[in-house]
Amino acid sequence: MCVLCTWSAQAQRKKIDRGIEQHTFIPKGLWLVGGSFSYTEMSANDFKFLVLHDINAKAYTFSVGSSACYFFRDNVGVGGRFSYARDFADIGDLNINLNEDLTFSINDASLIQHMYYGTGFIRTYMSIGNSKIFGLFSEARVTFGAGQGKTSSGSAETLDQIYQNIKRLQVGFSPGLVAFVTDNAAVEASVGVMGFDSRWINQDHNKVEQGTFRSTSAKFKIDLFSINLGMSYYF
């Protein structure tokens, strides 16, 4: 005699209602355009700082960019960004005094580097409550950059130069806050939270020796030093 007993039960999943209502903050069909610009300059003449003495140097960093985004559905847009960055540093004299018997000097050294970046991104917006002025957004983006750099030291017969071809790939996620100051213009702030960054450098030393360098990093943290501020226009 064989007895077959079958028992089955189905667990009921409890639906969670957090009371979050979706409102149209950025309607479908709008365009977003924005731009950024930054410039930093530094110079030192016979300056001293800790173990650094007799510093004679100058440097600057410069970057400019523009972006555009089309909202193919309410609160969701896809777009692109293009930017250019340039860095320059020139050290005429620099003495490093660790103690009376350990002293280093750097003379006639310079660095110049310029990079072009192209970015594709998708943005999702959410209003804060029923507000049509303040909202939150999240941006997922992929960036590829390419450029060149050169470092030099010495002069005349002692001149030493290194040329670099640089490529960079970045994948990141960034949340932000947007506030409209007029019906079409808004101020926004964002901070990097997580991302992947890979860099490749091919080096040419005095047109004779070749070298390569690669670095890869990943992060998942709130980086308060990567806060970006900007203006954007919606039409």
First vs last Cα of the chain: how many Å apart? 79
More confident residue, 110 or 120: 120
pTM, two decimals, is 0.78
Looking at residue 13, its pLDDT comes to 63
- The CB-based long-range contact list for 205-211 (8 Å cut-off, 24+ gap) reads 205/161, 205/162, 206/160, 206/161, 206/162, 207/163
What is the pLDDT confidence band of residue 1, given thresholds at 50, 70 and 90?
very low
Contacts of 146 (CB under 8 A, 6+ apart): 115, 116, 165, 166, 167, 168
Residue 10 DSSP one-character state: -
pLDDT, tens digit (0-9, with 9 covering 90-100), for 19-71: 666 778 889 999 999 888 788 888 888 777 776 777 778 888 889 888 999 99
Q: Once rounded to an integer, what is the mean pLDDT over residues 2-22?
A: 57
Model confidence at 90, pLDDT cuts 50, 70, 90, reads confident
